[in-house]
Structure 1
Amino acid sequence: MPLQSRYTEARDTLRAWLGSGVLAPDPEPALYVYEQSGPGVLQRGLIGDVGLVDPGEHIVLPHEDVVPGPIADRLALMSTTQANLEPIFLLYEGGDGTATRLVDEVASTRTPLVSAHTEDGLTHRLWAITDPAEIAAINADLHDRQALIADGHHRYATYRVLQRQERVTRHASRPPAERLTPSGDVPLGPWDFGLALLVDSAAYPPDLKAIHRVIPGLPLEEAVARAKGAWRVQDYSELALGLTALERAQEPAFLLAGADGAHLLTDPDPVQLARAMPADHSDRWNSLNTSILSEFVLPVVWGMRDDEHAVRIVHHDTEAAVRLARHTGGTAVILKPLAVEDVLAVAAGGERVPRKSTSFGPKPRTGLVLRTFAID
């Protein structure tokens, strides 16, 4: 199916669902308390529309770079449907504020609008907050806080592109007398906001998982041999033993695995490491394991670029990464997850972590809350 046909089909489906009552707009403005729970999982937050601001204001902080292709795809979908079809995922430090206390009170004492179970073993519950006083209290508490984009960098970037696009279009079509408010501002429209889930990371620490690498063109034996010139290498006969050693090792540390055992890299040569890391980045950025992998291990130790052609990505699953390495005759690089506070600090300093550094969860489930511009 051509891409444009997919976007128009999505628009027509959304309209049909609204027309038939499969989807129904809420009768009054609301914020939503959203809870995800399951074995070892409990996350609560607020779903609502977040005001879009220039990144230079350091209110909503990205921590990853974006690329044009996904933005163009999401822009076409949002423009055609005139809707935000799923929330992005934001983290903020709530400091036991009003919003966090109210989220917990609502989830503990009120009857949910929706309760659903999904195949991943999680239960999803949703409550609407419609009391204007409660909504005002939440807005007042959140107004001066920063938020980190945990998931949805391309969608947030798309929100901003769509905002600029709609402002230009609507501004040009208005009569001159209606183009500015009495204060001189451009009137706000629904495209000046974007759907988001906000979670207090202090009350509900996110599950930040590692993203592993597989290098098909680099045999494990060769990878280990080259590493010995810059790292201390410890050999393990079984993957499980290597993973235990990695867990206990001080960063930076990597576990190399493939067809023949596992090999732990620790204690890099400080002179070689310092020479490799970029001087125009912060010490915090240069200490991240993904930064050291992309700036030192891959280009200096192994002589290759960190790109999608040479390096394949495996989310979370160490066994899957090692299987892929064995299948391709290559090397799996197993990493520990980054610390949330390191990601926050890097983002607050205006930097971006290397590609494929973080996988935050649990992510909001698509389909529970949608936001259409016509109804907003």
Structure 2
Amino acid sequence: MAIVKPFRAIRPIKELASKIAALPYDVMDTAEAREMVKDNPYSFLHVDKAQIDLDADVNMYDNVVYEKARDNLNKMIKDKQYIQDEKPCFYIYRQVMNGRGQTGLVACTSIDDYVNNIIKKHELTVEAKELDRVNHVDYCDANTGPIFLTYRANNEISEIVNKWVKKEPIYDFVSEDGNGHIVWLIDDSKVVNKLEKLFKTVEYLYIADGHHRSASAVKVGHLRRVQNESYSGDEEFNFFLSISYPDNELKVLDYNRTVKDLNGLTSREFLQKVEENFVVKHSENNEAVKPAKKHIFGMYLDRSWYELEAKMGTYNDKNPVDRLDVSILQNNILRPILGIEDPRKSSRIAFIGGIRGLKELEKRANTDMKVSFSMFATTIDDIMNIADNGQKMPPKSTWFEPKPRSGLFVHKLK
């Protein structure tokens, strides 16, 4: 039984929504963020990545960064760039990318559901990244970036959403990347209560993207409980900001790999080793290989494309993690041949989101890297099956697009 509750969002005034809404803090580095905001003083990156407003030599994890984030958020509210709804509401958020839409419900979810595994995880987190967002949420006293959740589609919930989106939206704009963003406000108490009850019939929610943000939000919630020993459980710090999408709305993109060297092997020696566990074919007319099904890989080496098909016995089909293509590549090429034991720690490997296209894999292998691999995308079913089994996916297994924008909804913890 999932707890999904309405809240009084702090949200942009309509005239500034398109200027405030920003990509998530973790999809760009500080230099890129500085460039993004140079002509936009309203961007929410001034809150989510506040080091852009400080000297370049300031450590991004210094307390002064979190103080700046808090001050910037408070100033935006004080300057009436934001408003707050008078009563708890739900919000529908639709994104449109290349003609395909995904529509989710913006709400608050329970830190206890996270702890009790009603909100299921499929990735490990890195402590340093968690601590960064713990400090950010703690100083801002707010959840500033929504957690990207999914659930098995529920017809009754979808019917309500589909009916409501026929109304006038509160926001409707196209961001600089060409993606559409449309938001509707659900303020009808009967509909709000109905949605709350319906979500209580949803057995599990699954984190699609935002494992560090969710873990950090939960830690801040527990910190607030220690500070407020007589808490009732209804306080806002017991909940965190999320967007829940039905699984049939989402599309996972491939998350590709490129490697700096062949671990001391010649190209011929490397290909011979690859052929031990894969059927290797030259791509016809040297066309880029975008795998059309699981267990097929593209490989770009010495300006040539190859198609690799994993042989039987290279994976355990009964193990949902072992049969993932990212695992097959790691266990049969990256670790044993290229010597990359832990891709999270190796400086010899880079990960390329599928939205960048296969040309990016070619470019990297032709310049600063040596060999690139294109992957078939992990599926939503893969994610749910692994989470249901209490297992964790390898790092960089999924890439979701479009990504929810930050800054459209802020959830204050008190």
TM range (shorter): 0.7 to 0.9
Amino acid at match of 1:151: D
- Structure 2: how far apart are the matches of 1:353 and 1:197? 22
In the other structure, the counterpart of 2:244 is 198
- Structure 1: how far apart are the matches of 2:362 and 2:325? 19
Q: Deviations over 1:105-162 (max 9, x none)?
A: 1112x11111121112122111111222111100111113211111111001101111
> Is 2:356 the counterpart of 1:313?
no
The percent identity for this pair of structures is 22
Q: Is the 8 A contact 1:92 1:201 kept in 2?
A: yes
In structure 1, stretches of 5+ residues that fail to align are 172-178, 181-185
Q: Deviations over 1:87-107 (max 9, x none)?
A: 11111112312x221111111
Q: Is the 8 A contact 1:35 1:124 kept in 2?
A: yes
Find 2:143's aligned residue among 77, 84, 98. Answer: 84
Q: Is the 8 A contact 1:213 1:332 kept in 2?
A: yes
In the other structure, the counterpart of 2:297 is 254
C-alpha deviation, 1:318, in angstroms: 1.7
In the other structure, the counterpart of 1:300 is 336
SS at match of 2:104: strand
- Structure 2: how far apart are the matches of 1:12 and 1:78? 13
> Is 2:406 the counterpart of 1:366?
yes
Amino acid at match of 1:162: V
- Structure 1: how far apart are the matches of 2:200 and 2:274? 49
In the other structure, the counterpart of 2:307 is 264
> Once superposed, which parts of structure 1, at least 4 consecutive aligned residues long, lie more than 4 Å away?
219-222
Amino acid at match of 1:328: D
- Structure 1: how far apart are the matches of 2:122 and 2:88? 31
- With normalisation by structure 2, the TM-score equals 0.79
In the other structure, the counterpart of 1:288 is 324
- Structure 2: how far apart are the matches of 1:349 and 1:56? 16
RMSD across aligned C-alpha pairs, in angstroms?
2.0
Q: Deviations over 1:215-238 (max 9, x none)?
A: 111265443222012221111264
Amino acid at match of 1:25: Q
C-alpha deviation, 1:239, in angstroms: 4.5
Larger Rg: 1
Find 2:174's aligned residue among 117, 121, 132. Answer: 117
In structure 2, stretches of 5+ residues that fail to align are 1-57
C-alpha deviation, 1:12, in angstroms: 1.0
- Structure 1: how far apart are the matches of 2:237 and 2:108? 10
Q: Is the 8 A contact 1:230 1:301 kept in 2?
A: no
Return closer, same or farther for 1:222/1:320 CA change in 2, 3 Å cut-off: farther
Deviates more, 1:252-261 or 1:151-160: 252-261
In the other structure, the counterpart of 2:387 is 347
- Structure 2: how far apart are the matches of 1:360 and 1:38? 12
How many residues end up aligned between the 2 structures?
347
Deviates more, 1:226-235 or 1:73-82: 226-235
In the other structure, the counterpart of 1:228 is 275
Superposed, which structure 2 residues align to 1:74-223 within 5 Å? 74-97=133-156, 99-108=157-166, 110-145=167-202, 146-171=204-229, 179=230, 186-202=232-248, 204=249, 206-218=250-262, 220-223=267-270
- With normalisation by structure 1, the TM-score equals 0.86
SS at match of 1:283: coil
C-alpha deviation, 1:210, in angstroms: 0.8
Q: Is the 8 A contact 1:223 1:331 kept in 2?
A: no
